[in-house]
Amino acid sequence: MKPFQQLTSQAIPLNMDNVDTDMIIPAQFLTQVTCDGYGQHLFQRLREQHTDFVFNSPKYQFSAILIAKENFGCGSSREHAVWALTQAGIKAIIAQSYSDIFYNNAIKNGVLLISLTPPIIAKMIKNAIDQNFILTIDLEKQTVTTSEDELFTFDFDPFRKTCFLKGQDDLDYLLEVTS
């Protein structure tokens, strides 16, 4: 796992509750035996159905921070959903909440998951739709700064924080403590 300290990027807004992992990567694309080749199928069904879907828009093509709402990543346990997101350039997600399995899968792949309150999320989504909305995440300070100079702090598990800052892998830790 690569260390994660700071990230500055344009934000891509996903204005939906309960985004499930079938939406993120449909089952038909899960027949690979490697971790590669999922990025091009990210949100494929929604991209086919809605030409104006955010992941079709060139405006957001370099965004590394996804803003989502409630219960992001619910449904199937497929880690392919996280691989699809990272291969499409997503390095951090800011949402109201995450499903438990998705949360575990994301942190094991170095994707930083931040939870903020519904009013902050709603405002961030609006800003990201309306303008070129740039966010800076500082994990050490546990802050998100917006291009409008607003600053939000977030809670983050101390153990996970160390893992992210150092790029420490769960399996190394487990091998050490179970040996």
Give yes or no for residue 173 binding other proteins (CB under 8 A): yes
> Which 112-151 positions form the footprint of other proteins (CB under 8 A)?
none
By C-beta, is 9 or 72 nearer to other proteins? 72
Q: DSSP code of 75?
A: S
SS3 of residue 70 by DSSP: coil
Give yes or no for residue 100 binding other proteins (CB under 8 A): yes
Give yes or no for residue 171 binding other proteins (CB under 8 A): yes
Give yes or no for residue 62 binding other proteins (CB under 8 A): no
Distances (CA, A) of 36 to 3, 30, 97, 105, 172: 21, 11, 27, 16, 23
By C-beta, is 27 or 151 nearer to other proteins? 27
By C-beta, is 126 or 148 nearer to other proteins? 126
Q: DSSP code of 163?
A: H
Distances (CA, A) of 41 to 30, 55, 71: 10, 11, 21
Give yes or no for residue 26 binding other proteins (CB under 8 A): yes
